[in-house]
Amino acid sequence: MTVRPDSRYGVSKAFGEALGALYADKHGMSVTCLRIGNVGPKPLDVRRLSI
């Protein structure tokens, strides 16, 4: 799936994931990237409802 960030924050997240992939490929490392979703008693808006 193509990465399509919609903000500078998203670009920084995509960069971190790509950097992890680079190290995994070049150095045989095992890399895990976690995307933590919304945490709260209820979603505050439509965007948070989707996560």
In which residue are the tokens 């960069």 written? 15
C-alpha torsion 34→7→11→32, nearest 10: 0
Active-site hit among 9, 26, 28, 41: 9
Q: How far is CA 48 from the centre of its chain?
A: 15
Q: Say whether 23 is catalytic.
A: no
Query: Catalytic amino acids?
Result: 9
